[in-house]
Amino acid sequence: MTSLPIILVLLLGVGALMVFALAYAFYSDPEQGMAQATHRPEKLPLVMIDRYIAVGVIQIGLIFFGSLEMVAVFCVAGAIMGLGDGLIYAKAKLPHMKHTSSGLLAVLGLVVTLFYLNAGGAA
């Protein structure tokens, strides 16, 4: 499974549970989700700046310190975000191709990563 120290496993687990709980709050009652997350709609464009920077930092970190397995996990997360956002906008009859294409590129990244995992490592 992992060779991480148990305290880090516990902290990561608690963090994941908190994030999943917020996701459920937004899913079940968006107003309650906003309240629990303490986000303000007028500040969301600014919040997105640090979200995009954080994703970029993760990608750079994967280049320098990542494993193929973690790249696969990142690609799955990217596919969920891109395809999920694309579906939300497509259902609302709004432009969605930037979101949908980012999700499809993440799926392509996953396929390439799985190829290298099955081939026994990077070339």
pTM above 0.85, yes or no: yes
pLDDT of residue 60: 97
pLDDT of residue 122: 60
pLDDT of residue 56: 97
Tens digits of residue pLDDT in 60-104: 999 999 999 999 999 999 999 999 999 999 999 999 999 999 999
Burial degree of 113 (CB within 10 A; 0-12, 13-18, 19+):
buried
* Per-residue burial over 22-61, b = 16 or more CB atoms within 10 Å of its CB, e = otherwise: eeebbeeeeeebeeeeeeeeeeeeeeeeeeeeeeeeeeee
Q: C-alpha dihedral over 58, 60, 63, 64, to 10 degrees?
A: -100
Tens digits of residue pLDDT in 37-64: 998 999 999 999 999 999 999 999 999 9
| Count of beta carbons in the 10 Å neighbourhood of residue 95 | 11
